[in-house]
């Protein structure tokens, strides 16, 4: 007996690649529109499962703000089999989307507060959804600091957008590279070197951190040194979510499933869990 | 619902009546001490007095290789999700395996529901079979208190000498009984015998360890950094046998299986194991549980701590399969005892 299912959770929504912007040698930005005419309706920080039948699925964080309703964007680094297939996509190609999944950044809790964004490398992708949300709703937030780090200047993501952030009067922007090249005129050094230079009021500031696994511990140490409470540091963690519904086990961090309870966690919730950060 | 009795010589007739209406799976003999649930073609294949089967009946609820959807990419990303299942009866399920299915029900039928699981769950009827003695030295149903069922079945059978006592728990169970005419209503004598039998069982199914169920949460509260995990990992081969045979392990992988024309194919889920080295690896190559000790520990914590926090119950049913199948002779009871004893040691 064959029982057809309509809402099993594994159905994809068809979507179309509207625009592809190459950013670096390994990263491309994809603008996607759902073909069912609906908007994705995501929170900043949530992720989707991108599907191409025959190749599989990959969890990718949405890097555009929900204030941008018609389409959404995904920043995809070519690292494995599935992302290589995604990098071969052309404008107009059809893909499948499941989601959005997970718990994003608590935007309503953040309103009325000062914000510090700290992003390393590809960590800018999930953070950009929140940064652009905050900039679009700029009146609702206090002081905004953005600290950005990457390995070398040619690996800088969202270059033109970052240039705009740097110009804005209502944003304090700071950027560093681990290794400079002859044309680079900015800071050189790890992202942690930028934190002592930021002035913030620990009583009214939220910090949001996203980057490669080894970055968190050092960045968070610097923040704690300056009096930031643990409960007001938010991190977005990377795991390989296969189902997105809290079952397959691949993204499990102790009692939490990263796909359901995360990927965004307040630091105090995960700090004692070995292997979380 | 009124319970019934069935004379033992009529049991085969009842199984035949079931087979006329359903596919019937039952424990069958595979070797001297090895049994497996399989679809039967003849009542004589049923082996009620079995020690826990190689694989638990979870394989009917969450098959090793299950199609989630079929896709066709000839004209875009088209797909249809479906479940393929016939109405079936699983006969002779021990109370430990019933407890295992209850755990899986909790995981897969919580929101967001897993409708593939739900569809299977709705088509499967369960007839349990009571253990009147310990199966072997590996089981720990005395510790986990799973030797007597707490719901989760349609019918539960108990051996009473020349009769089987059928405790009927659901309308579906009553429906099955009505398929066959040889039943007699259970009288008060039979009910009393059942009560006595159950109270005698308590003496027989004693806690197999020096750990009590009540102290397990506290042991696993501080046991995370115990040296026991390193000692266990020294033996462990990371083969994943324990997770395959566990009635409450449900981790899986989702893969695409294209047909030769590459345009059509299936998206399937297959059993996966947290003991595999690549299980917690992410795209950049970072592995969040690279060490064997971390993975063995993760499995134990997924039985005795995390599900307690999430679902309010232990995910060990005491069936003993993990210890029985372990090539490296890692024993669950010993590990928990050692963990308790390691308190204060480095």
Helix (H) or strand (E) holding A267: helix A267-270
Assess whether A82 and A111 both reside in one domain.
no
- Cβ contact (<8 Å) for A56 and B255? yes
Measured between beta carbons, which residues in chain A are less than 8 angstroms from residue B107?
A: 247
Assess whether B227 and B86 both reside in one domain.
no
Mean pLDDT of B255-276: 95
The domain boundary residue, chosen from B173, B204, B235 = B204
| Beta bridge pairs of residue A76 | A28
For chain B, what is the domain count?
A: 2
Assess whether A224 and A116 both reside in one domain.
yes
Q: Is the pLDDT of residue A277 over 90?
A: no
- On whether the CB atoms of residues A154 and A25 are closer than 8 A, the answer is yes
Q: Is the peptide bond before B154 cis (omega within 30 degrees of 0)?
A: no
CA distance A254 to chain B (A): 7
- Cβ contact (<8 Å) for B256 and A55? yes
Q: Measure the CA angle with vertex B191, ends B188 and B193; round to 5°.
A: 110
- On whether the CB atoms of residues B96 and B319 are closer than 8 A, the answer is yes
Assess whether B286 and B312 both reside in one domain.
yes
CB count within 10 Å of CB B258 equals 15
Q: Is the peptide bond before A167 cis (omega within 30 degrees of 0)?
A: no
Cα–Cα dist A233/A224, whole Å? 9
Task: Say what the pLDDT of residue A276 is.
Answer: 85
Assess whether A118 and A70 both reside in one domain.
no
Q: Give the ipTM of the model, two decimals please.
A: 0.90
Cα–Cα dist A9/B116, whole Å? 9
Assess whether B16 and B127 both reside in one domain.
yes
Cα–Cα dist B182/A202, whole Å? 78
Q: Is the pLDDT of residue B1 over 70?
A: no
Measured between beta carbons, which residues in chain A are less than 8 angstroms from residue B258?
A: 53-54
User: Which residue in A226, A34, A23, A216 sits closest to B286, CA to CA?
Assistant: A216
Mean of the per-residue pLDDT values of chain B? 93
Test mutation, A96, A247, A253, A269, chain B, max B CBs within 10 A: A247
For chain A, what is the domain count?
A: 2
Task: Give me the helices (H) in A14-123, please.
Answer: 81-87, 107-110
CA distance B190 to chain A (A): 40
CA distance A240 to chain B (A): 5
Angle between helices B228-235 and B332-341 (to 10 degrees): 150
- Cβ contact (<8 Å) for B284 and A250? no
What tens digit of pLDDT does each residue of A181-214 get? 888 888 998 999 989 888 889 999 999 999 988 8
Assess whether A226 and A123 both reside in one domain.
yes
For A53, the domain range is 13-101
| Beta bridge pairs of residue B209 | none
Is residue A268 a part of any domain in this protein?
no
CB count within 10 Å of CB B94 equals 29
> What one-character-per-residue DSSP string does B223-241 give?
GGG-THHHHHHHH-----H
Assess whether B165 and B313 both reside in one domain.
no
A254 touches chain B (CB under 8 A): yes
Cα–Cα dist A37/A39, whole Å? 7
Assess whether B197 and B253 both reside in one domain.
no
What tens digit of pLDDT does each residue of B7-29 get? 999 999 999 999 999 999 999 99
Assess whether A114 and A180 both reside in one domain.
yes
Q: Is the pLDDT of residue A95 over 60?
A: yes
Task: Say what the pLDDT of residue B283 is.
Answer: 85
- On whether the CB atoms of residues B37 and B5 are closer than 8 A, the answer is no
Q: Measure the CA angle with vertex B32, ends B30 and B33; round to 5°.
A: 85
Cα–Cα dist A149/A254, whole Å? 30
Q: Is the pLDDT of residue B292 over 90?
A: yes
What are phi and psi for residue B101, nearest 5 degrees?
-65, -35
Task: Say what the pLDDT of residue B75 is.
Answer: 92
- Cβ contact (<8 Å) for B77 and A52? yes
Q: Tokens 């307040």 sit at which residue?
A: A266
Mean pLDDT of A116-123: 93
What tens digit of pLDDT does each residue of B28-43 get? 999 988 999 999 999 9
Angle between helices A159-167 and A124-136 (to 10 degrees): 40
Q: Is the pLDDT of residue B2 over 90?
A: no
- On whether the CB atoms of residues A40 and A100 are closer than 8 A, the answer is yes
Q: Is the pLDDT of residue A129 over 70?
A: yes
For B257, the domain range is 213-341
- Cβ contact (<8 Å) for A77 and B310? no
Radius of gyration of chain A from Cα atoms? 19
Cα–Cα dist A221/A240, whole Å? 26
Is residue B68 a part of any domain in this protein?
no
Mean pLDDT of B131-154: 91
Mean pLDDT of B315-322: 94
Measured CA to CA in angstroms, residue B56 lies from A86, B153, B307 at distances of 39, 15, 19
Task: Say what the pLDDT of residue B346 is.
Answer: 55
Is residue A39 a part of any domain in this protein?
yes
A240 touches chain B (CB under 8 A): yes
Task: Say what the pLDDT of residue B246 is.
Answer: 96
B119 touches chain A (CB under 8 A): yes
Is residue B321 a part of any domain in this protein?
yes
The domain boundary residue, chosen from B147, B173, B204 = B204
Question: Quick one: what percent of chain A has pLDDT higher than 70?
Answer: 100
Q: Is the peptide bond before B112 cis (omega within 30 degrees of 0)?
A: yes
What tens digit of pLDDT does each residue of A34-87 get? 999 999 999 999 999 999 999 999 999 999 999 888 999 999 999 988 999 999
Is residue A97 a part of any domain in this protein?
yes
Is residue A245 a part of any domain in this protein?
no
Task: Say what the pLDDT of residue B12 is.
Answer: 94
Helix (H) or strand (E) holding B198: helix B188-204
What tens digit of pLDDT does each residue of B212-249 get? 999 999 999 989 999 999 999 999 999 999 999 999 99
Task: Say what the pLDDT of residue B42 is.
Answer: 94
CA torsion A24→A84→A252→A62, rounded to 10°?
Answer: 50
Question: Quick one: what percent of chain A has pLDDT higher than 90?
Answer: 79
Mean pLDDT of B266-285: 92
The domain boundary residue, chosen from B172, B204, B236 = B204
B217 touches chain A (CB under 8 A): no
- Cβ contact (<8 Å) for B107 and A254? no
Task: Say what the pLDDT of residue A186 is.
Answer: 86
Is residue A2 a part of any domain in this protein?
no
């Amino acid at each position: 007996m064959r029982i057809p299912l309509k809402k099993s959770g594994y159905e994809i929504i068809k979507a179309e690649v509207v625009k592809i912007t190459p950013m670096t040698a390994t990263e491309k930005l994809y603008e996607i529109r759902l073909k069912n005419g609906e908007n994705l309706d995501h929170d900043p920080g949530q992720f989707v499962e991108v599907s191409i039948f025959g190749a599989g699925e990959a969890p990718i964080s949405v890097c555009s703000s929900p204030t941008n309703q018609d389409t959404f964007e995904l920043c995809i680094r070519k690292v494995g089999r599935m992302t290589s297939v995604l990098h071969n996509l052309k404008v107009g190609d059809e893909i499948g989307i499941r989601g959005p999944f997970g718990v994003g950044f608590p935007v309503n809790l953040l309103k009325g507060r000062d914000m510090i964004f700290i992003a390393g490398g590809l960590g800018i992708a999930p953070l950009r959804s929140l940064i652009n949300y905050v900039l679009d709703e700029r009146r609702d937030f206090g002081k905004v600091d953005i600290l950005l780090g990457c390995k070398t200047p040619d690996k800088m993501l969202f270059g033109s957008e970052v240039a705009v952030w740097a110009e804005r009067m209502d944003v304090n922007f700071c950027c560093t590279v681990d290794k400079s090249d002859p044309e680079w005129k900015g800071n050189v050094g790890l992202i942690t070197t930028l934190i002592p230079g930021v002035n913030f009021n620990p009583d009214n500031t939220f910090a949001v951190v996203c980057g490669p696994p080894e970055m968190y511990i050092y960045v968070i140490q610097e923040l704690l040194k300056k009096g930031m409470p643990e409960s007001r540091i938010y991190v977005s963690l990377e795991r390989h979510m296969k189902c997105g519904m809290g079952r397959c086990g691949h993204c499990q961090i102790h009692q939490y499933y990263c796909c359901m309870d995360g990927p965004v966690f307040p630091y105090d919730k995960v700090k004692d869990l070995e292997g979380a950060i | 619902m009124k319970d019934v009795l069935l004379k033992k010589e009529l049991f085969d007739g009842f199984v035949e009546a079931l087979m006329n209406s359903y596919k019937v799976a039952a424990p069958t003999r595979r070797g001297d001490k090895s049994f497996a649930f399989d679809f039967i073609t003849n009542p004589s294949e049923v082996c009620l007095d079995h020690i826990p089967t190689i694989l638990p009946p979870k394989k009917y609820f969450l098959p090793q290789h299950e199609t989630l959807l079929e896709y066709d990419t000839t004209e875009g990303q088209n797909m249809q999700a479906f479940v393929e299942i016939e109405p079936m009866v699983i006969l002779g399920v021990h109370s430990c395996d019933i407890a295992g299915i209850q755990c899986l029900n909790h995981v897969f039928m919580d929101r967001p529901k897993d409708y593939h699981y739900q569809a299977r769950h709705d088509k499967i009827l369960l007839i349990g079979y009571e253990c009147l003695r310990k199966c072997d030295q590996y089981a720990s149903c005395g510790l986990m208190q799973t030797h007597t069922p707490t719901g989760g079945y349609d019918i539960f059978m108990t051996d009473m000498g020349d009769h089987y006592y059928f405790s009927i728990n659901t309308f579906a169970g009553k429906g099955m009984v009505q398929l066959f005419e040889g039943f007699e209503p259970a009288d008060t004598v039979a009910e009393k015998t059942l009560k006595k039998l159950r109270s005698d069982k308590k003496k027989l199914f004693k806690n197999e360890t020096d750990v009590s169920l009540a102290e397990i949460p506290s042991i696993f509260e501080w046991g995370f950094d115990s040296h026991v995990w390193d000692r266990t990992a020294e033996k462990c081969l990371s083969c994943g046998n324990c997770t395959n045979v566990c009635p409450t392990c449900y981790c899986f992988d989702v893969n695409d299986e294209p047909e030769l024309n590459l345009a059509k194919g299936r998206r399937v889920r297959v059993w996966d194991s947290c003991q595999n080295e690549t299980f917690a690896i992410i795209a950049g190559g970072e592995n969040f549980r690279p060490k064997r000790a971390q993975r063995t520990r993760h499995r134990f914590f997924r039985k005795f701590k995390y599900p307690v926090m999430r679902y309010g119950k232990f995910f060990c049913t005491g069936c003993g399969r993990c210890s029985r199948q372990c090539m490296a002779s890692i024993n669950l009871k010993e590990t928990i005892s050692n963990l308790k004893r390691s308190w204060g040691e480095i």
